[in-house]
Amino acid sequence: MLGEPRVLAAYAAARKVDSHAVVGFTHGLIQLFDGHSALVSTLRGVGMNLLDVVPPLRRKFATHLVFGV
């Protein structure tokens, strides 16, 4: 039944996995866009251009952002 400690604990455990994945992903994005080396900048630009010109790749990426990694 809703509100029971057992049900709440199971829900919290399931959400914990998702929240850790999202935090890790966003931390990775911060690291990627904070890099100032020429190699990182070039690779980042290539990746962004790929997302721009390959709609299936862009949709897959957007799906991960919306529904979790």
The C-alpha R_g of the chain, in whole angstroms, comes to 17
Report the percentage of the chain scoring pLDDT > 90.
Answer: 33
- Region 17-27 average pLDDT: 84
pTM of this prediction exceeds 0.95: no
Pick the residue with more confidence: 67 or 43?
43
Q: Is the pLDDT of residue 58 over 80?
A: yes
Pick the residue with more confidence: 65 or 6?
6
Measured in whole angstroms, the distance separating CA 60 from the mean position of its chain's CA atoms is 11
Give the dihedral of Cα atoms 38, 47, 45, 52; nearest 10 deg.
Answer: 180
Residue 17: the pLDDT is 83
DSSP state of 4: -
Residue 69: the pLDDT is 55
The amino acid that residue 1 corresponds to is M
Token couple for 58: 């862009």
Enumerate the domain spans of the chain. 5-67
